[in-house]
Amino acid sequence: MADAHSYPRNDPRSYLFVPASRPDRIGKAIAAGPDAVIVDLEDAVAPDDKDAARAALATAWADLRPRADTSGVALLVRVNGADTVWFEADLTTCRQMGVSAVVLPKADPPALRAMRALLPDTACLALLETAAGFDDLRAVARAPGVERLLFGSIDLMADLDVADDGAPLDYFRSAIVAASRAAGLPAPVDGVCTAIGDAEALAADTARGRRFGFGAKLLIHPNQVPGVHAALAPSADALAWARRVVDQAAAANGAAIAVDGKMVDKPVLDRALRILADAQ
């Protein structure tokens, strides 16, 4: 059951993966300054090492969680999929550790129900990375306990047998953003940028996600944290525009206004307010 160390309501912008098999790296990941750290029991751990990684994480958790709390970092666990032999043991360990939020890979309605049966009060971040999951996207977004949707672009490419994460995935980007909005969830989390050490590629990848409506990004290396935060922050021009809109709307006291030669109605004002909120 989730306790006082709950999944944050101020939605993280950055989710940094770190292997569960390397507890020493978890502390370093927390210190790197992401908004959230996802301790990974799935892809980052070889099959023969799953049990040892789970045991090592359980031993280290009592020390790691206070460090994350002190740093203001949400500490999550990605479990193995519901179709694996490790799923139940992973969730049992998460319950014993008091994990506040679990990242569920290959999320679909049956997997969500299986997780809910074992962890009825734990928040779920549903990782959409298969065609089957997207086929049930609306049900996943509205499932009990789901707090946010994550875009597993790399696994989805493999499932669809496409080699380009650009245009071939644009439909899925729009779909997950729209489903999140319709379900009242925060803007979803974009997939990883695999170009470690390439700041320009990371900035472009993050900016593309922001244009589609994503509000955060999955990361695979600590050096990606500053670049993602910078790319998701409103530009100076956008902030200046938002302040003009909000200030002039307040001064007009409900009367119609135009800013920079364009009419300002409620959707425009709402967008300006969101930009100012993002900057904070």
Which residue ranges make up the annotated binding site for substrate? 78, 129
What is the end-to-end Cα distance of the chain in Å, rounded? 31
Could you list the beta-strand ranges (E) of the chain.
14-19, 36-40, 74-78, 101-104, 123-128, 146-151, 189-190, 216-219, 257-259, 262-264
- Maximum pairwise Cα distance, the chain: 67
Annotated binding residues, written as ranges, equal: 78, 129, 155
Annotated binding residues for Mg(2+), written as ranges, equal: 129, 155
Beta carbons of 165 and 153 less than 8 angstroms apart = yes
Say which amino acid occupies 156: L
Beta carbons of 84 and 61 less than 8 angstroms apart = no
Burial of 229 (0-12, 13-18, 19+ CB in 10 A): middle
Give backbone dihedrals phi and psi of 4, rounded to 5 degrees, phi first: -65, -25
DSSP for 200-265, please give it.
HHHHHHHHHHHHHT--EEEESSGGGHHHHHHHHSPPHHHHHHHHHHHHHHHHHTTS-EEETTEEE-
Distance set, CA 189 to CA 109, 209, 276 (Å) = 19, 9, 20
Name beta bridge partners: 15.
Answer: 36, 218
Give backbone dihedrals phi and psi of 108, rounded to 5 degrees, phi first: -155, 170
Give dist(CA 166, CA 115) in Å, integer. Answer: 32
